[in-house]
Amino acid sequence: MSHNTTCAAGAGHNFKPRWIRDIKRFLNIKSQFVLSGNIRDIYPFYNHDKAVPLQLKHYLRENLAAEGFQYYICYDPIDGFSPLHEAAPESEKTANDFFSANFGIDFKNGAYACSTVKAFEVIKKIVDYKEAFVSVFVDFASRLIINPSGLSADEKDFFSAFLKLSYTAFPHITVSDKTPKYNPIFWICDKENDFPSWFFVNNPKIRPVVISRPDSATRKPFIALISKAIKGFNECGDVKKKEIITSFAESTEGMYNSDIIAITQLARSEGLVFDSIAEAVRRYKIGVTEDPWARLDKDKIKNAREIIERRIKGQPQAVIKTLDVIKRSVTGLSGAAHSKASGKPRGVMFLAGPTGTGKTEIAKAITELIFGDEKAYIRFDMSEFSAEHSDQRLLGAPPGYVGYDAGGELTNAVREKPFSVILFDEIEKAHPKILDKFLQILEDGRLTDGSGNTVYFSESIIVFTSNLGIYRQDETGRKVQNVNQEMDFCEVEARIRSEIDNYFKLVLGRPEILNRIGENIIVFDFIRENTASQIFDKIMRNIIERLYENNKIALAIPESICDQIRRICVSDLSNGGRGIGNKIETVFLNPLSRALFDLLIEERGEAGNVKNCAIKTFTEHEGVYNLEI
């Protein structure tokens, strides 16, 4: 949509952002304004039942004209002075004649380049002029200084002159307007601290104004304005229009007006209709057209419990709750309880419980279920982020620091793979400052990296794993076991949940993080005896299959020997399924490897032939296990 397009604005024409109302209130009190923040956006200017999207200087011009201002001039360190006039040719001629006659500025080439010394002389004459109200816009003001904390002599003299001018300027009246006002200077800079602090801090004549991103009250009338250009807008009834506009406004929280214009342009160019605007927002945020969630095999999800339980043994409650999250993700209902157009992640899970019970394995299982490859998930070991400043590894260092342009590990990974399962392993080991970053992810589904770029998590599933609740501190501060295998699952779950509550609320003092996770805490049970036997059988089957696939060896294990190995491997379940695997490696894999090594060497020349083998004996002597084939 062109910035010069005029459209009906509806009820939004009376609305002004807080920052422009702030400027208007101080026109007769402050001689200079320092504008920072969202200075390169598009701003809708409403006039009666019409509106036009404008850039900042033009938006200020229109608002100042309503306050009695007649002339406007811009200065920037590249082109020097240029007039800011209305589009009509007579307006341009009038403005050029005014600045030429009163201040000796020649705009024959469209601009008047000069040194900063000359620029101050001209601006001082304009500020002191009493026959009309004139405003000066100093654009790209951040580029006037190389280093705010170490000004050169010329830079110091330049800003010292303007500091003095802020005090020596006085408000005046004109023949046509008896309300006293200054001829103000508007400094347009990226950030307040791009200027020396002594220039405006505690200066009663300079007003810092931070231009914020448009809030919902600003976006709604603007969306109503530009949505008219989208196919299917006129076919929607008033109630439907209102719903879609509200949804559009909610889904663009934290975005710029220029982003909203780009989304509508994207919708038009890709043939999306008005009631599909949510898809245009998704494509704009994520940057891709295809939607893997829409292509998922629904029958596969329907039978997901059977698929997952092939990998996860003895955790029926955890599997059911996990599948609830997955089905909400697939149907797009995650976050629907909070907002129709929620930008929250597709799913959030906090997996807690004893070690070796399948927490990481279930993250792999759902990744394979959704994306067809268990390796497609993004994993972060949070023990690596225990230092206070390690958040820079995740998000990227801020500008000015070494490596800031490289980005962060998390933000880069999600930008590259927006459709993903993201696993944060052992979350309690991260520094509390890192945990604060998850508030924005869980609430808004977005994160800003060190370079100021926004990354969206709205198509991701976030999985946290934790060992919280297995131990607790007693009255003496000593760590003691909180749960054990003698307890039934209901008691284990209650105790672990209680300790998780205590950790976030009392230890960290971050109850809001727990609140964002909500009811998505999934507690895993201890590996019980019957489950241990299933895990043992599964691992043994994997070993036999791997041996056949890699070496063409068909291995037979007599049931009596298998039971003997099973009794040894499941005798200690303190380390869960992982402990069973480790024990199998020591008790079975090591002696099997020794026994097969010579056989594999002998059979090298018979590639492709299947070798049938059977274990004849299995023995143990002084902690060393042996078997004979």
Which residues pair with residue 210 across a beta bridge? 36
Could you give the CA distance from residue 88 to residue 93 in angstroms, rounded to a whole number? 9
Angle in degrees, 0-180, between the axes of helices 590-602 and 529-551, rounded to the nearest 10: 20
Amino acid identity of residue 15, one-letter, is F
Q: Which run of H or E residues covers position 402?
A: none
Question: Using an 8 Å Cβ cutoff, are 42 and 256 in contact?
Answer: yes
Q: What is the pLDDT of residue 436?
A: 83
Q: What is the mean pLDDT of the chain?
A: 86
- Count of other CB atoms within 10 angstroms of residue 254: 16
Range from 126-135, 187-196, 245-254, 526-535 that averages highest in pLDDT: 126-135
Q: Dmax of the chain from CA atoms? A: 113
Question: Using an 8 Å Cβ cutoff, are 595 and 375 in contact?
Answer: no
Residue appearing with tokens 């231009």: 211
Residues ≥6 apart with Cβ < 8 Å to 558: 614, 615
pLDDT one-digit tens code per residue, 142-170: 999 998 888 999 999 999 999 999 999 99
Could you give the CA distance from residue 86 to residue 563 in angstroms, rounded to a whole number? 91
- Count of other CB atoms within 10 angstroms of residue 529: 10
Please, what's the b/e burial string for 443-477 (b: 16 or more CB within 10 A of its CB; e: otherwise)? bbbbbebbbeeebbbbbbbbbbbbbbbbebeeeee
Comparing 47-51, 380-384, 538-542, 575-579, the range with the smallest average pLDDT is 47-51
| Token digits of residue 184 | 């103000």
pLDDT one-digit tens code per residue, 499-529: 999 999 988 888 898 888 888 899 999 988 8
Instruction: Give me Rg for the CA atoms of the chain.
Output: 34
134-138 and 71-76 beta bridge pairing: parallel
Asked if the model's pLDDT at residue 88 lies above 70, the reply is no
446-448 and 421-425 beta bridge pairing: unpaired
**Ordered alpha helix ranges (H), 518-575:** 529-551, 559-569
pLDDT one-digit tens code per residue, 300-350: 788 888 888 888 888 888 889 988 888 887 776 554 444 445 578 888 999
Q: What is the pTM of this model?
A: 0.70
Q: What is the pLDDT of residue 168?
A: 96
Q: What is the pLDDT of residue 553?
A: 84
Could you give the CA distance from residue 565 to residue 555 in angstroms, rounded to a whole number? 15
Residues ≥6 apart with Cβ < 8 Å to 183: 126, 127, 128, 129, 133, 134, 135, 136, 169, 172
322 to each of 124, 190, 298, 304, 360, how far by Cα in Å? Answer: 68, 45, 16, 10, 13
Residue appearing with tokens 């200077």: 185
